[in-house]
Structure formats: structure tokens, C-alpha cells
Structure 1
């Protein structure tokens, strides 16, 4: 039996592929645990960027509802969210390196919101993002009610949440929901090239930039200015800052190591 998650290690970066194509890569407990373990492994300093994508004709259809059929009464969906989805979202946002997501085909429910938790999202032109929760009487989870208003504004966030209508990749790009829509055949090559590029960049500086952006939504301007000061102080003490300045002065490309010290 094939593993539910494929892990491929490249030079400085890791590709993670959701691998339940017969179920549109919907999440069951095995896949949730496998992705959590892979993100733990990606903390290793040898990995400087992560690419997340899906096998087959879809990125991820969210929760596998077949796991929720029970004769023992209503399921505790809050337990599922707290045990599996919330930790994954927190890990993707907090990972001290960039995470690229390549959305192929449908990204629905928790699958859409896990994609939005990544740092840079590319989508095939055939892809669609669907906040499918309203179709089964549920609330957008996995960060959906946090990400959507911030990315596309409250009016659009309310409409896509309450109507559960598909949003095309090109519309998602024009709204600012994702970084870029690309031709289907170019999706993986472009996403892999982007991950490989990020793996050569100043990893610690990128991690600190992620931390600043993550904090900005809940900060006042004064608090954010103070945070930027503190993070810049930390960034200025990294080997990659020294290398970047030296390379600039010597008029040559920088050779960043990604090391913390």
C-alpha cells in the first residue's frame, strides 16, 4: 500500500505530496499524522524550504467524511480540529523557513485553508478554492475565518464562506488570495524552481520576516515597530547578513549558508 504522504528530499529543500489521489487527497488520521511528522523533520537545518502539493487531479478535498460516519452519535469535530488541523496550521505558519504550496485541482474545506497557511501559494489555472463547509452545515476551520478576511476583505470572505461557491485560480490571484495562477503544465516546475531558489536564500532572515508578518495582524503600529527593531537586531547578527553585505561590496552574488550562527 502506498504511503499517504510522499516525501522527497532535494538539495536544501523538501517536497511533500499528499498521496490519497483516489480520495482527492482528503485527510484521514494517517495523512494528518504523516504530514505533522514530515513538518517536524523539516525543522532540520539541512532543509531550508518546503514545497507542499497533492498527487493526482486534486490538491486536497479537506476532511475524509468517510471517517466521520459513526453509529455512536455525533462526532466531536472540535477534537479533530484541536488534535490534527490546528497543529498543522500553526506548524506551517511557524516553520522557520518558507513554505511553498502548489495547488493542483480542487482545494476544498480544510484543504483550501491549509494551502492559505503556506507562505507562497501557486495554483494551476484549472484549480478551484472552495470553502465547502456551508454545504454540510459547518463553520470554516483550519484558519479559514482568520485568513480569508485578511487576504480578500470581509465582503468577499463572507460571500465565499456562506455561499460555498468555487473560486477559480485566476480569480484567487486577482483577489490576492494566492500569489500566482500558472498554466497547469508549468505548476510543478515553477513551484519546484521557487522552492529551490528559496533554499539558497538567507534562511534565518526569511524566518524572522515570517515571524514579523505573523505578528502584524494583532499588533499596534508601535508594537510592530518594536518587534521589527528586535528582529532586525537578531537578523543583523547572522552569518548571512555579513555575507550579504560582503557580497554587495565585492559586487558578486551572495552565497548564503542559512546558518543561525
Structure 2
């Protein structure tokens, strides 16, 4: 069985965790498949947005503990998790988690690593690590305080409570809650809007926002200036201006457009 399904449509790459018999728990094969898929997506210019979801009514129930503990040193095992978390965080295109069931432990942090989270009312979430004698991984210790503040992050991590989709949305951990019968169409519309955006500018914006929480205002302003220089070197800024004056929708390509230089990519 293919543990990670890949589908491309209209600039959107959908990665589906496909171990429904284990509620899409992450085993070594799936970790490696995720690492390879995210690396490939980051280098593929035809990908303008990425959706991460799970098969069989679950998103991801965390790491698969059914096989017991590996004999490999934990530091070696954690390298793959580290790679996946960084690849997802630094992916230069917008990412959307579509959560239609449980998202637990590393599975929840996988969703939180996406830029936007769409959940159905049936979704449930838990930082289950404490119940397993563990502490958060896959970036959870960094993501949670930034998203909900230190006190709520400690509540979720120390008590390992399960929260439903509405509470997760109220805490700022889910962007939208959408009925199960409408979620596919909602995500399709959302990704269509994202892929219609200027790819270079969106990549710059995502990086600025990701880095902003760890920077001073002076650092952030310098980063914004560099990002705008990159944006003005693309064809998208003048295209947006022309579209505005002509009262039409812009067509963004991310093409390099510095005078005197050919776009050879």
C-alpha cells in the first residue's frame, strides 16, 4: 500500500496520509515519504499551494507506537522529524491542513505547521505526549506558544487534553470550521485563491511572517525592504498595476522581469 498519496490539480499538490487502518499514524516509511514529498514540492515551480490531509476520516493519530521502540538512538530517529517540520515550515508556497478527524501528538503539530487549518466539526485535537511519557515534538513547543500564548500552550501540553474543532478555532489553532459535506469545496476554493496570487510575493510574505516573531522591529523592517526588492524584480508587481488600471483580474506568474535579463527558468 502506498502510504502517502500525491495528487496535482491546477497548481495544487495534495498529500494524503494513507494508513487509515492506523488512523494515519506515522511510521518510519510514512515519515520518509513525507520528507521526500515536501522536499520535492519545494523545488517544483508548478506547485503553487499544498494541501495536507488524511485518508479514511482521520488526519493523523501521531507516531505509530504499535511496533515498539526502535533500537536506533533517538537522536537519529528524530532527524527525520526535524527535517519534515523544517521542510513544511519553510516551504515557499502556502500550505493548508484539511483535518476531518483526529489530529493527535505529532499529527496535530503537522497540521499546526501548515499556514492555514480547515477542520470539520468531527475533528479533535490533543497534545497527547504527556500521556505517553513524552514531551512535544515536530515543532509543537515552538508553535503552540506563538499561536495561543504561553499559558494556554502549557495547559494543552501539560494536561494533554482533547479539544474539539470549535475550541481549537477559538484558541486560534484552527482557521475555519466547515461542515464535512462542504469541506472539499471550501478547500478547493481556498487553494484556487492562493494559486491565483503572486507566487514570489506570497513566498516573501510567508517567510517574513514566520520569522517576524523572533526579530526586532528594525530586523523586520530590513527584511521587508529586501522582500519588496525581490517583488519589484518580478513581473507580478507591474502586472497588478496594469490589471488595476484596466479593471481586470491580474495574472500572476512569478516571472523574473529585471530589464536586460532574460527569464531562463
Same fold (TM over 0.5): yes
Give the aligned partner of residue 176 of structure 1.
172
Give the aligned partner of residue 221 of structure 1.
217
The TM-score normalised by the length of structure 2 is 0.93
Q: How does 1:90-239 map to 2 (within 5 A)?
A: 90-239=86-235
Q: CA RMSD in A?
A: 1.4
Note the C-alpha offset of 1:234: 1.0
Give the aligned partner of residue 78 of structure 2.
81
Give the aligned partner of residue 36 of structure 2.
37
Length, aligned pairs only: 256
**Runs (5+) with no aligned partner, structure 1:** none
Question: How many Å separate the matches in 2 of 1:260 and 1:104?
Answer: 39
Alignment of 1:66 onto 2:63: no
Question: How many Å separate the matches in 1 of 2:256 and 2:116?
Answer: 23
Higher relative contact order (CA 8 A, sep 6+): 1
The TM-score normalised by the length of structure 1 is 0.94
Contact preservation (8 Å) 1:101, 1:120:
yes
Q: Matched residue of 1:177: which SS? A: coil
Alignment of 1:28 onto 2:54: no
Note the C-alpha offset of 1:104: 1.3
**Runs (5+) with no aligned partner, structure 2:** 258-265
Note the C-alpha offset of 1:260: 4.6
Question: How many Å separate the matches in 1 of 2:113 and 2:256?
Answer: 24
